[in-house]
Structure 1
Amino acid sequence: MYSTDQQVLGVACRWAAAGHRFALVTVARTWGSAPRPAGALLALRHDGVVEGSVSGGCVEDDLIGRMRAGALGAQAPFCIVYGVTKDEATRFGLPCGGTLELVVEPAPEVAQLGRLQARLALRHLAARRVDLATGAVTLEDALRDDALQWDGSCLTTIHGPQWRLLVIGAGHVSRYLAQMALALDYEIIVCEPRDAYGPGWDVPGTRLLTSMPDDTVTALAPDARTAVVALTHDPKLDDLALLEALGSPAFYVGALGSRVANLRRRERLVQHFDLTQAQVDRMHGPVGIPIGSKTPPEIAVSILAELTAVRNGMRTAPIRDGVISQ
């Protein structure tokens, strides 16, 4: 689930508390170039007020018109498809002939949405299943590898942070990185064994661990949805994390530092530790996309830009000494 869609649920619950009726609309499937991904949410109030989006354009306008005309007044969930033909795709502002398949819940159970909100507040993963044939909606625990499922009759959406970011060090850059990464749907774990830094960490929604970096990475058992970023500037700490992370399936491993410092780090990891050259070549260092960043928030933006690129399959080669590896 996307963090922006968690806001949709919160607004919908507040509407219900104020006595407003509303429908919940979920993108179930897309074809072609669609503006919003499967799983995106829209809450539509009885008077046409909206929160969230499913297309960012004319689809919302059409849904608002249907709501005001009473065409969304059914009680059972149902499906709407937009953009079946090229003319319809153009009419609804769907680029490149894109198609949207939406599941509409005209009267979602507010108590259940409240339970989902409670789980999300604890950063738990949950699976929400909507059965169009029976109208039944269920909520249960989910795993991080679970994915949205839609067979034309049942829609299962996954809610909560499915990606993890382990940050080594609780310094200034780490603070900005954690705050920004929360908005990108990461579960944030910060490892800080130094007494001078840990007590001042106060970023809500993150978890602080004081164990040593190598022990922290080992206990976390990074998988293909985990990123590890070392930001202490202290080789005694950063290298410990990198030793364990570079040999794991983590989709991203990076370290802060200058080009010279990272060149020396690569040599050190190969010569003095049990890592292969191929494993060390996985490291993104200097960490982040080179955008001329100087300040802590700029560096955080650079790191998150690279994380996003790798996570979305846009870049798989680390930067070595300022050059993208081949």
Structure 2
Amino acid sequence: MFDMDRQVLDGVGRWASEGYRFALITVVRTWGSAPRPPGSWMALREDGLVIGSVSGGCIEDDLIAKVRSDEWRSSLPFLLTYGVTQDEARRYGLPCGGTMELMVEPNPGHAGLAMLKDTIAQGRLVRRTVIVGEPDVGLDDAACTDVLSFDGTHLETIHGPRWRLLIIGAGQIAAYLAPMAQALGYAVFVCDPRTEYSSEWCVPGVPLLAGMPDDVAIELGLDPHTAVVTTTHDPKLDDLALLEALKSSAFYVGALGSRVNSERRKERLAMHFDLSANQVNRLHGPVGLPIGSHTPPEIAVAIVAEITAIKNGVRKNAKSR
């Protein structure tokens, strides 16, 4: 994920500047139950320090032992497999006979990693290609529809913000919601033309867009990798964004408000805007999973949980809050 990419790349940048050697390790395939999905990666320093994760901890312990004993003599990428037998799966904490295959890069190129970091910092998606036994690593532009690919020798991983979140309203809920979404790999944008709120916006890495919400939604080009949440309680702002979002292919559209206000909003959207019944019914409101949330951080947790559920294809039952 985007934020995890940055953590690893920030860490290896520091290590490289301090003169440490390190390895990159990526999950490339799993069978059965495994603690981490393909694409999870970690950096492992020569003295055993770790950034990131490829399992629940037991595999990391074995990897640390290997790097400390200077077991990895080759500088070329190679594969490691854990959990081939039931006994080995239990030893390394892989439940239900799970198996993990890892790509190990004992000596990744520092310049290429710095370039990768700079590119994703610009909000661009990057495809990184590593080949078993080959020293060169490829970096190319990627699309949000691209996914990890591994054919046994060639590994292609996608790095950068594959998902986007547009928040309408620069209030307190947005200030909690934005960094939570960033941690989940979203590029986050906040729109609020009200100077009373926008002048105090200060969440790092989250640009404030001062245009009208409908204009901003159009300019961003809402697509199936975009979620939209309105939080202002002001129909003059929220409804403008919802009008464009509900007509778009955004995978999630939600609006803050009580159940009564949410029903009124749907009636208003159906009556005064050129929206079909199916488009109006796409609106999630009250926004967020029903976790009894009341405070801004609790509401933000509920919202990001619902967005995650929808993104992952988990449909929920009718809720009440």
**Interval of TM-score (by shorter of Structure 1 and Structure 2):** over 0.9
Q: Distance in 1 between matches of 2:314 and 2:87?
A: 31
Aligned position for 1:39: 39
Q: Distance in 2 between matches of 1:269 and 1:208?
A: 26
Q: 1:272 deviation in Å?
A: 2.0
Q: 1:87 deviation in Å?
A: 2.2
Q: Distance in 2 between matches of 1:65 and 1:2?
A: 28
Which range moves more in the overlay, 43-52 or 276-285? 43-52
Aligned position for 2:201: 201
Q: Distance in 1 between matches of 2:208 and 2:21?
A: 41
Residue 151 (structure 1) aligned with residue 151 (structure 2): yes
Following superposition of structure 1 onto structure 2, how do residues 185-224 of structure 1 map, counting pairs within 5 Å? 185-224=185-224
Q: Distance in 2 between matches of 1:45 and 1:8?
A: 11
Aligned position for 2:79: 79
Asked if structure 2 preserves the Cα contact closer than 8 Å seen for 1:2 and 1:40, the reply is no
Per-residue displacement from partner, 1:201-249 (whole Å, max 9, x unpaired)?
Answer: 1211112212211122122221111100011100111111111111221
Question: Structure 2: which amino acid aligns with 1:230?
Answer: T
Aligned position for 1:6: 6
Following superposition of structure 1 onto structure 2, how do residues 36-185 of structure 1 map, counting pairs within 5 Å? 36-185=36-185
TM-score, normalised to structure 2's length?
0.95
Q: 1:263 deviation in Å?
A: 0.6
Q: Distance in 2 between matches of 1:262 and 1:17?
A: 53
Residue 312 (structure 1) aligned with residue 312 (structure 2): yes
Q: Distance in 1 between matches of 2:194 and 2:28?
A: 46
Asked if structure 2 preserves the Cα contact closer than 8 Å seen for 1:28 and 1:39, the reply is yes
Q: Distance in 1 between matches of 2:114 and 2:314?
A: 36
Question: Structure 2: which amino acid aligns with 1:139?
Answer: L
Asked if structure 2 preserves the Cα contact closer than 8 Å seen for 1:67 and 1:73, the reply is no
Aligned position for 1:299: 299
Structure 1's unaligned 5+ residue stretches are none
The CA RMSD measured in Å over matched residues stands at 1.6
- Aligned to 1:44, the other structure's residue is in SS state strand
- Aligned to 1:211, the other structure's residue is in SS state coil
Aligned position for 1:281: 281
Q: Distance in 1 between matches of 2:53 and 2:308?
A: 21
Q: 1:148 deviation in Å?
A: 1.1
Q: Distance in 1 between matches of 2:48 and 2:215?
A: 53
Per-residue displacement from partner, 1:165-195 (whole Å, max 9, x unpaired)?
Answer: 0001111111111122111111011111223
Q: 1:124 deviation in Å?
A: 2.3
TM-score, normalised to structure 1's length?
0.94
Asked if structure 2 preserves the Cα contact closer than 8 Å seen for 1:142 and 1:158, the reply is yes
Q: Distance in 2 between matches of 1:114 and 1:313?
A: 35
Asked if structure 1 preserves the Cα contact closer than 8 Å seen for 2:5 and 2:160, the reply is no
Asked if structure 1 preserves the Cα contact closer than 8 Å seen for 2:34 and 2:100, the reply is yes
- Aligned to 1:87, the other structure's residue is in SS state helix
Q: Distance in 1 between matches of 2:222 and 2:121?
A: 23
Question: Structure 2: which amino acid aligns with 1:84?
Answer: V
Question: Structure 2: which amino acid aligns with 1:211?
Answer: G
Aligned position for 1:252: 252
Asked if structure 2 preserves the Cα contact closer than 8 Å seen for 1:127 and 1:156, the reply is yes
Q: Distance in 2 between matches of 1:33 and 1:217?
A: 40
- Aligned to 2:228, the other structure's residue is in SS state strand
Asked if structure 1 preserves the Cα contact closer than 8 Å seen for 2:123 and 2:161, the reply is yes
Q: Distance in 2 between matches of 1:247 and 1:98?
A: 43
- Aligned to 1:145, the other structure's residue is in SS state coil
**Count of residues in correspondence between the two structures:** 321
Question: Structure 2: which amino acid aligns with 1:104?
Answer: V
